[in-house]
Structure 1
C-alpha cells in the first residue's frame, strides 16, 4: 500500500480543497495523510484522512496585531511592504520545521500546496521521493495576464511575463531563510530557492492547477507539464444536510442572498453586519450572513425575520439555494458560486481576490466588483444594495451562471490528481 502526504497551510480556503483530493486518493486504495494546522484537524479527520500537525496556525494567531498571516490578508500600509515581507518570512520559517517533521519514513509521494511547495521540494530531494505541486491559483509567468496578486490589470504580454518573473523572485526571497535552514537540517548541499525552482522547470516537473478553464483558460505560452485540471472541491459526507434552522429559514420565503467574507476582515463584524443588513433591506431581499473571521451576526442589527446568521456549512449545499452570493472572491468561494449556478457580487479584499472578481465579471456571472475598501464610504449601503439588485434581478446573469455551472460539472479535478499521482508512484 502506498503512503501519500499532502501538505497545505493558510486559511480555510487554502486547506479545504485538499480534503476532497485526499478522499479521492483514499477511495482508490492509498493511505493519505494531510499535514496542516490544528484548527483544521476535524476537517481532515472527517474526510477519513490522517491528520498531521503544521505550526503557525493563522486562526489561533490572528488576534496578535503583529501576526504575519493576519497582516498578509490586509492591504499593506504605505511603506509597509518591507515589514510585511519580514512577517511573512517568519511565518514561512516556522512552517519549514513542521513540514520536515510531518513526513514519515514510509512516505511514497508528496503533494504540495502553493504555500508549502517551496519547502516540500527540499524534503522530496532529501528523501528521494517524487513530489507534485497542486496550486489553487495560476503562478507561472505568462503573457496572457499579470500575476494574480497584481490586481488583475494587464500590463501587455511583455509586461505580464516580466511581472510574473519578478513575482517568482519575490517568493524566492521570502523562502530563502527557511530553505537554507531546511536544507542544512536535511543534510543537503546549499542551494537557493531560485536554483531549486529552475532545476524543476528545466526537468519539466509536472504542476496541476486546481481551477477551471471556465474561469482561466490555460495560458498559451505555458510549458508542457503545467496543466489546468479543474477545481478540487472540499470533502463533505454524502449524507450531509443543511442544519434544520437553515432549512426552516429557506422554507419561510424566497431564496435569500448569501453574504460572507471568509477569513477576511477580522474584527469588523459589527460594522459589516449593520451594513449588510441595511443593504439587504434596501434591496428588499432576505439574507444569510456567514459569520467567518469577521464575525458577521444579526445580533447587532434590528430584529428581522428576513436575516439569519450561520457558521461553517458546505457551500456545495448552501449556494445552490441562494438567489445570489456576496463574498470576498477567494479562489474556492468564487468557484463554489459558479458551480452553484448563481450570480455573484464580488467584494475582493486583497491578494488574488481582485483577479478572481474580474474573472467572474468577465464571464458574465457577476456584477462589477466592489473593492472591500469601498464598504467604508458614505455610499456603501446604496452601492451594495444596487449590486445585490443587479445580481438578483437580471435573468441574463443567472443564465450565464447556469451555463458556467454545466461546464464545471463535466470536470473531474480530483480524478486528474489521482491519475498523475499513480503515474508518479509507478
Structure 2
C-alpha cells in the first residue's frame, strides 16, 4: 500500500510530512512525498521517494511585488503545476494526504482517482472556528470584525483568488465546480497536526477536527563536531534563527549585540536570509541547517519566527523562547507561548539589539525557565505514529 503526501511551502511544511512518511514506512506502508524541489536532498536522505512540484520556494517573496496580472499568472501556474505533479504521483496510491493551505489541487485529484483525501493543518487558527480569527493573509478581511465575519470574508477571498483556475481545471477533468474553494480544500473533517497542550483546537469536544499531536521526527540527528565544541566551551548560549523568513541583513548583528549585552554567547542559524555577523566573533557560532530536537535542549533560550514546528521543538526542549512573528500562523504561536508563560511575544516584524535584549531579559528568568521545563513533558511525541496508524486503517 502506498500513500501520497503532498505539501507546498517551506521546511516547516515539509518536515512534519517527512516524519509522517517515515512512520508510514515503519508500519509497513510505502510513502511518496510531493514537495517543492528545494527539499529533494533532504527527503532522499531519509530514503523516501520524492516527486517535485512547482518552482523552488526558497527565493519566493524577494524582489519587487508582482503586478495584478503577474499575480493572476502565478496563481494559474500554481494550479497547473499541482494538477500535473500531484496528478502523476497519485497513480498507484491508496490515500492522498495534503498539508498546508496551498493544497489547491489535491482534493480534486483524489476525487478524480476515487481515493480518500485527508487535509492537515499545523495551527488551530488556520481552520475556521468561532473562537479564533483567521490568520492575516492580505487585504479582504476586516481584522476589527467578529470572528464569524472574518471567516466569511476569508472564504470570499479564497474564491476570488482560486475559484476560476481551479474550476477550469476540474471541468477539464470531468469534475463539477466547487462553490467554496476553502471548504473544499479543508474538507469537512480536517486533521490538526499540532500539540494539544501547546496549540489546542478550541471547539468543545473537538467537533469534526481530529488532533493527533505534532508530527516530529522520531530520532534527532547528531550535531557536528564544530557545534559540539562550541557548546562545550562555555555556558549554554542563546539560539537565534528565523527559518524561511526573509529578515533584514542587520538581524545577525542585532542578535550578537543583544546576547553580548546580557553576557551570553550565541548561535545564529543562517536560514533563508543567509544571516551572518559582521566580524570574527568567537562568542557567536553561525551555522546552517541543524536538528532542532538535538540542539534546543542545550541552549539557554531560543529566539525564532514562530513557525509551528520550531515553536513545538522549543517547547519540547523545555527552554524559554522569544517569538518574533512575521506572517500567517506565527502570530497565533506567539500568543500561545506568552499565554502559557514559556516565553515572550516580541512585536511583529524586524528586530533591533535593544528589542532583543528586552525580550531576552523577560525570558531568561528562573520563573520562565521553570515553567518551560514543567510544560515540556506534556508535549506529545507520538503524533506522527497515531496519524500513520489511522491512515493505514483508512486505506484498508
TM-based fold match above 0.5: yes
Partner SS for 2:100: coil
* 1:277 is aligned to 2:248: no
1-side partners of 2:226 and 2:182: how far apart? 54
CA distances 1:216-260 after superposition (whole Å, capped 9, x unpaired): 222225873311221111x37x47310100000001000000001
Q: 1:342 aligns with which of 319, 322, 328?
A: 319
Tell me the C-alpha RMSD between the 2 structures.
2.7
Q: What residue is the counterpart of 1:118 in the other structure?
A: 104
Structure 1: 5+ residue stretches without partners = 68-79
2-side partners of 1:209 and 1:304: how far apart? 42
Which portions of structure 1, spanning 4 or more consecutive aligned residues, are displaced by more than 4 angstroms?
A: 60-64, 82-88
Q: What residue is the counterpart of 2:245 in the other structure?
A: 264
2-side partners of 1:420 and 1:381: how far apart? 47
Query: Could you say if the C-alpha distance between residues 94 and 258 of structure 1 is closer, same or farther in structure 2, counting changes exceeding 3 Å?
Result: farther
Q: What residue is the counterpart of 1:166 in the other structure?
A: 153
1-side partners of 2:182 and 2:235: how far apart? 57
Report the Cα offset of residue 101 of structure 1. Answer: 3.7
Q: 2:120 aligns with which of 134, 137, 160?
A: 134
Query: Could you say if the C-alpha distance between residues 332 and 196 of structure 1 is closer, same or farther in structure 2, counting changes exceeding 3 Å?
Result: closer
Q: What residue is the counterpart of 2:213 in the other structure?
A: 230
2-side partners of 1:199 and 1:321: how far apart? 38
Q: What residue is the counterpart of 1:395 in the other structure?
A: 366
Range with greater deviation from structure 2 (104-113 or 15-24): 104-113
Structure 2: 5+ residue stretches without partners = none
Q: How many residues align?
A: 392
Contact persistence 1:118–1:193 (CA under 8 A) = no
Partner SS for 1:304: coil
Query: Could you say if the C-alpha distance between residues 264 and 273 of structure 1 is closer, same or farther in structure 2, counting changes exceeding 3 Å?
Result: same
CA distances 1:272-297 after superposition (whole Å, capped 9, x unpaired): 11111111111210000000011111
Q: What residue is the counterpart of 2:274 in the other structure?
A: 295
Range with greater deviation from structure 2 (217-226 or 315-324): 217-226
Partner SS for 1:372: coil
CA distances 1:330-365 after superposition (whole Å, capped 9, x unpaired): 111111111111101111112221111111011101
CA distances 1:358-385 after superposition (whole Å, capped 9, x unpaired): 1101110112423223x2xxxx322211
Contact persistence 1:290–1:309 (CA under 8 A) = yes
Equivalences for residues 63-142 of structure 1 within 5 A:
64-66=63-65, 86=72, 89-90=75-76, 92-138=78-124, 139-142=126-129
Partner SS for 1:59: coil
Report the Cα offset of residue 97 of structure 1. Answer: 3.1
Contact persistence 2:37–2:55 (CA under 8 A) = no
Report the Cα offset of residue 7 of structure 1. Answer: 0.3
Q: 1:415 aligns with which of 385, 388, 394?
A: 385
TM-score, structure 1 length as denominator? 0.84
CA distances 1:105-131 after superposition (whole Å, capped 9, x unpaired): 211110111234331110011100111
Question: Per residue, is there more helix in 1 or in 2?
Answer: 1
1-side partners of 2:319 and 2:116: how far apart? 40
Q: 1:319 aligns with which of 280, 296, 306?
A: 296
2-side partners of 1:349 and 1:196: how far apart? 26
Contact persistence 2:241–2:304 (CA under 8 A) = yes
2-side partners of 1:26 and 1:402: how far apart? 33
Report the Cα offset of residue 52 of structure 1. Answer: 0.5
Query: Could you say if the C-alpha distance between residues 323 and 98 of structure 1 is closer, same or farther in structure 2, counting changes exceeding 3 Å?
Result: farther
Contact persistence 1:96–1:178 (CA under 8 A) = no
Query: Could you say if the C-alpha distance between residues 214 and 143 of structure 1 is closer, same or farther in structure 2, counting changes exceeding 3 Å?
Result: same
CA distances 1:179-204 after superposition (whole Å, capped 9, x unpaired): 12431342323334449729943xxx
Contact persistence 1:56–1:91 (CA under 8 A) = no
